Amino acid sequence: LAHLVVAIDGPSGSGKSTVARRVAAALGLRYLDTGAMYRAVTWWALERGVDLADTERVAQLARELRLEQGLDPEIETLSVDGADIAAAIRTSRISAAVSAVATNLGVRAELVARQQAVARAGGVVIEGRDITTVVAPDAPVRVLLTADEQVRLSRRALEVHGSADADAVDATRDQVVRRDADDSTVASFQQAADGVDVVDSSLLSLDETVAAVLKLVEART
């Protein structure tokens, strides 16, 4: 298992970050959250007052980004030029802007290259939108984690607003449905690519979802 790469993709609210962390911890592997990298570029660009529509400038920022990202599945550490941004990248301001950065092909080229360096070293669970197809298409274990839209909306509403009532669900719709639609223009994570196993977590608890992924790891290694 020491050099194993587990690739996990899925839409927002599918629970993939939590599941990927738990799988990595269970297997003693490292964990790479690629969404956090797109969020970090977005934070940095907004911090510097760069217009996100200026694709060349934003791509240049991505190439210059001095990002330090911990790979421990139990604790998230993320800093840019020594400034801790682990909390700052989770704000709705960043969630609302991140697709504009993620659809920048220059940014993707840079971040995919960094992610592939981690994949080459091995011993890691990598999670995102294009991991099973672009970053690590040769990974022995590739999983698409899905859940019904309604389930994803209520999970995200609970996470962000502490409630899954109708108002909270409506408030997260833009963050989930619109973001997935935008992200889908550059990464295909709505359907499983050839050879990718689908785990639908709509009717599963977190523990059951983790167990389903661990079972796939066992079957494929």
Q: Please choose, from the candidates 152, 144, 202, the residue with its C-alpha nearest in 3D space to the C-alpha of residue 176.
A: 152
Tell me how crowded residue 103 is: count the other CB atoms within 10 A of its CB.
Answer: 18
From candidates 6, 20, 128, 144, binder to ligand C5P by CB under 6 A: 128
Stretch that binds ligand C5P, among 43-51, 57-65, 126-134, 152-160 (CB under 6 A): 126-134
Site string for ligand C5P, 130-169 (x = CB under 6 A): xx--------------------------------------
Cβ 34 to ligand C5P, closest distance in Å?
Answer: 4
Please tell me whether 133 is known to bind a ligand: no
Cβ 114 to ligand C5P, closest distance in Å?
Answer: 11
Is there binding between residue 21 and ligand C5P (CB under 6 A)? no
Give the C-alpha separation, 41 to 46, whole Å.
Answer: 9
Stretch that binds ligand C5P, among 74-82, 129-137, 140-148, 200-208 (CB under 6 A): 129-137
Interstrand relation of 83-84 and 78-80 (parallel, antiparallel or unpaired)? antiparallel
The side-by-side arrangement of strands in the sheet containing 78-80 is 67-69, 78-80, 83-84
From candidates 5, 12, 110, 143, binder to ligand C5P by CB under 6 A: 12
From candidates 104, 147, 153, 183, binder to ligand C5P by CB under 6 A: 183
How many amino acids of this chain bind ligand C5P (CB under 6 A)? 15
Cβ 2 to ligand C5P, closest distance in Å?
Answer: 24
Is there binding between residue 39 and ligand C5P (CB under 6 A)? yes
Phi-psi region of 144 (alpha: psi -120 to 50; beta: other; left: phi over 0): beta
Please tell me whether 49 is known to bind a ligand: no
Q: What is the largest CA-CA distance in the chain?
A: 48
Please tell me whether 215 is known to bind a ligand: no
Stretch that binds ligand C5P, among 33-41, 75-83, 138-146, 153-161 (CB under 6 A): 33-41
Give the contacts of 144 (CB within 8 A, at least 6 positions apart).
Answer: 8, 9, 10, 132, 189, 191, 192, 193, 196, 197, 198, 199
**C-alpha separations of 218 from 203, 208, 213 in Å:** 22, 15, 9
Enumerate the known binding-site residues for ATP.
10-18
